[in-house]
Homo-oligomer: A and B are copies of this chain.
Amino acid sequence: MAKYDFVVAVGGAPGQGIDTFGISLGKICARYGLHVSTYSAYQSLIRGGHTFLTIRISSEPVANHGDEIDLIIALDKNSVEKHIENVRPGGAFIYNEDDVKKAPERDDIQLCPIPYKKFSSGIEDRKLQRRALNTCLLGTTLRLVGAELNVLEEIIIQTLLKRKGQEVVDANIMVATAGYEHAVENFTQFDDKFEKQEPALAFVDGNSAMAMGGAAAGVKFYSAYPMSPSTGVLKWMATYARELGIMVRQCEDEISVINMVIGAAHAGCRAMCATSGGGFALMSEAIGSAAMMEIPIVVINVQRGGPSTGLPTKTEQGDLWQLLGASQGDFPKIIVAPINIMDGFHTMPELFNLVDKYQCPGMVLSDLTLGMGFTTFDPASINWQPEIDRGELISELREMDGEYLRFQITDSGISPRAIPGTPGHIHVVATDDHDEDGGLISDEFTNPHKRRDIMEKRQRKMEGIVKLLPPPTLEGPEDADVTLIGWGSTHGVISEASQMLNGDGIATNHIHFKWLYPIDEDVVNEVLANAGRSIIVECNYTGQFARFLRGETGFKADGHIRKYDGEPFMPHHIVDGTRELLIGKTELYVPYQEIVV
């Protein structure tokens, strides 16, 4: 089968059911075994807001929203005006003809006006009528891409019957059918059509994937304060709390959130929380306290556009230095940036095993693109029973020679950790520095030699950690002319850009960082030795990763591609940037964002 690669986008106002459209279409693709990657350009839900959801569909795994849009569905007049130019020549544009006085003018695409009022006149409930528009246009969409209507019907029943009742289901099926049939009669299908492939996939967003990963890793305590774009983790956790036996608490603020996580983790639960930049800032004091008390916790930061409240609904990779610098002093910590949505799932058990073993905070750096994006995955690729290694955890009375020392000085820096309630291991953990048995160094006595010993004990854990972290990955030819270097969420888009460049005859490879801290200088430099003309691609202004990487390894890239306008990279941004940088006029390329929402 030839590669299928098709991009659908849908625009409209909040409340018009863009999410529903996206989830339904996503699930339909999943049932066809087609892979999906979505990106939603949206604003906070208040009047005047506008959402533009891009759904890329492919017969092969895909992890970015692509360069061109084949088909756009406009749910309101605003979207007609805004997005008529965004369809590629030869594409199609579906809209509600009741919305527009004058039909949009473009003769290089197929215009597909839908007489929605007519189709929906049988629906008496006005609100229901208004809300079903998206389903109608989805019917039309399915016909254009060659998908079957009955899959949509199944999904309507699955998602709406229990929550909304038969009437709503019937209305939706009715307009979907009308939209579909109208297309059969009036519009031309795309040449490339949906074809079923095995296996059928599932459809998930990035925040849920991380929550699922946490649940699989054995998280028993989750606390949160709402903050876009991280709130989806809370939603998943709250939804599955009872089914899976997870304690979920919403707190008065983020300070409370992380301190509760610390309390719960100390008492024996795997515990985590998620937030975004501003919430993370408030948590930063407690990150250091977890390290000092040697309590394993996991904190997820789903980055959004900064600085400050910034761009709550836009993406950025702008919090790397915040995580690197979170809390005063030096202490063991782990920072990891999942490279795609499903990697978010897999990362959680990996990280929990590490933080349990090394009794330190672990931080996950996701972002809006990843957290609020959707992808498809093969259910068989999910390991719901990953290895759970809790490290040296004591929860029962045991034989000991001599006293139990909570912070025993060991070669590995790891000291066996007893949880409260365990007989025979009573101890105090403190955020003041302390000696092996927990006695305070600072207040009661201040011994520089003990301090040095315990500081070195703690920091020795970093030596163990750094050896366990996988090196950055190298994809593409070993000796390439150009090397694209990225970190975290941009893996998919850089990967595709790299393939495009190779296709255009520019030998390119791709080095990608997932585990960000600690970094093993020698190991990383060995990987970087494969670099050709090197270009670091990241989604922030100052080149946070480039500066960090140079500090840790001395590696200075030849050029940089950076974006900080709130919108994520599209593959051609990187391809164009690479060409510009190769010409050598500049060391920094900042792509122009063509699609404006």
Give a binary string over A572-590; 1 marks a CB under 8 Å from any B CB, 0 the rest. 0000000000000000001
Instruction: Answer whether residue A548 sits at the interface, using C-beta atoms and an 8 A cutoff.
Output: yes
Bound CA span A235–B277, Å = 34
| Contact pattern, A 380-402, Cβ under 8 Å of B = 1, otherwise 0 | 00000000000000000000000
Closest to A333 in B: B307
Q: Is the CB of B308 within 8 A of A289?
A: yes
Q: Which of B308, B330, B552, B554 contacts A328 (CB 8 A)?
A: B308
**Contacts A288-B306, A306-B328, A325-B323; is A311 near B43 (CB within 8 Å)?**
no
Closest CB in chain B relative to A324 CB, distance in Å: 5
Does A308 contact B327, Cβ atoms closer than 8 Å? yes
Closest residue on chain B to residue A564 by CB atoms: B455
A43 touching B442, Cβ below 8 Å: yes
Judged by a CB distance under 8 angstroms, whether A550 is at the interface is: yes
Q: Is the CB of B281 within 8 A of A306?
A: no
Instruction: Give Cα A289–Cα B566 distance, bound, in whole angstroms.
Output: 18
A22 at interface, CB cutoff 8 A: no
Does A551 reach chain B (CB closer than 8 Å)?
yes
- Chain B contacts of A451 at CB under 8 A? 305, 311, 314, 564-566
Q: Which residues of chain B have C-beta atoms less than 8 A from A564's C-beta?
A: 330, 451-452, 455
Does A158 make an interface contact (CB < 8 A)? no
**A596 on interface, CB distance cutoff 8 Å:** yes
Please tell me if A26 contacts chain B, counting CB pairs below 8 Å: no
Within the complex, the shortest CB–CB distance from A255 to chain B, in Å, comes to 8
Question: Is the beta-carbon distance between A331 and B307 smaller than 8 angstroms?
Answer: yes
Minimum C-beta distance from A239 to chain B (A): 27
| Chain B nearest CB, measured from A278 CB (Å) | 5
B-side contacts of A44, CB under 8 Å: 442-443
Q: Are A321 and B319 closer than 8 Å at their CB atoms?
A: no
Q: Report whether A306 and B329 are in contact in the complex, using a CB–CB cutoff of 8 Å.
A: yes
Q: Does A250 sit at the interface, judged by CB under 8 A? A: no
Q: Which B residues touch A430, using CB under 8 A? A: 309
| Contact partners of A43 in chain B: CB under 8 A | 442-446
Q: How far is the CA of A321 from the CA of B325 in the complex (A)?
A: 5
Given A550-B554, A567-B448: A443 in contact with B312 (beta carbons within 8 A): yes
CA–CA, A431 to B309, complex, Å? Answer: 5
Is A318 a contact partner of B329 (Cβ separation < 8 A)?
yes
- A536-575 toward B: CB 8 Å interface, digit per residue (1/0)? 0000111010011111101010000000111100000000
What sequence of 0s and 1s flags, for each residue 12-27 of chain A, a beta carbon within 8 Å of any chain B beta carbon? 0000000000000000
**Binary CB contact string for chain A from 249 to 283 against chain B (1 if under 8 A, 0 otherwise):** 00000010000000000000000000011101110
Which residues of B sit under 8 angstroms from A97, Cβ to Cβ? none
Which partner residue on chain B sits nearest A253 by CB separation?
A: B255
Closest B residue by C-beta to A552? B547
B-facing mask of A436-460, CB < 8 A → 1, else 0?
A: 0000011111111101100100010
Distance from A253 Cβ to chain B, minimum over Cβ atoms (Å): 9
Q: What does DSSP make chain A's interface, helix, strand, loop or mixed?
A: loop
Contact B442 A309 (CB under 8 A): yes
Check A442/B313 contact, CB under 8 A, given A325-B326, A551-B551.
yes
A481 at interface, CB cutoff 8 A = no
Instruction: Verify B48–A431 contact, CB threshold 8 A.
Output: no
How far is B536's CA from A551's CA once the two chains are assembled, in angstroms? 14
Q: Are A307 and B285 in contact (CB under 8 A)?
A: no
Asked whether A448 lies within 8 Å of B556 as measured between CB atoms, the reply is: no
Q: Which of chain B's residues has its CB closest to A555's CB?
A: B554
Contact at A325–B328, with CB atoms within 8 Å?
no
Contact B285 A329 (CB under 8 A): no
Interface status of A496 (Cβ within 8 A of chain B) = no
A449 partner residues in chain B, CB cutoff 8 A: 565, 593, 596
Chain B neighbourhood of A76, CB < 8 A: none
CA–CA, A554 to B312, complex, Å? 35
Chain B residues near A431: list those with CB within 8 A.
Answer: 308-310
* A446 and B567 alpha carbons, distance in the complex (Å): 10
Could you tell me the distance between the alpha carbons of A540 and B328 in the complex, rounded to whole angstroms?
11
Mark out the residues of chain A between 410 and 451 whose CB falls within 8 Å of any chain B CB in the assembled complex.
430-433, 441-449, 451
Assess A565 versus B330: contact at CB under 8 Å? Given A311-B446, A433-B305.
no
Instruction: Return chain B residues, CB-CB under 8 Å to A565.
Output: 448-449, 451-452, 455
Is A80 an interface residue, CB under 8 A from the partner?
A: no
Answer yes or no: A159 CB below 8 A from chain B CBs. no
Whether, in the assembled complex, A46 has its beta carbon less than 8 Å from a beta carbon of chain B, the answer is yes
| A416: min CB distance to chain B, Å | 21
- Tell me which residues across on chain B come within 8 A of A284, comparing CB atoms: 281, 284, 322
| Top 8 A-B residue pairs of the complex, sorted by shortest distance between their CB atoms | A306-B329, A325-B325, A277-B328, A551-B551, A307-B329, A448-B565, A281-B285, A292-B308
A-B contact pairs, 12 of them (CB 8 A): A43-B442, A281-B288, A289-B308, A291-B308, A310-B432, A311-B441, A311-B446, A318-B329, A319-B328, A451-B564, A455-B564, A550-B550
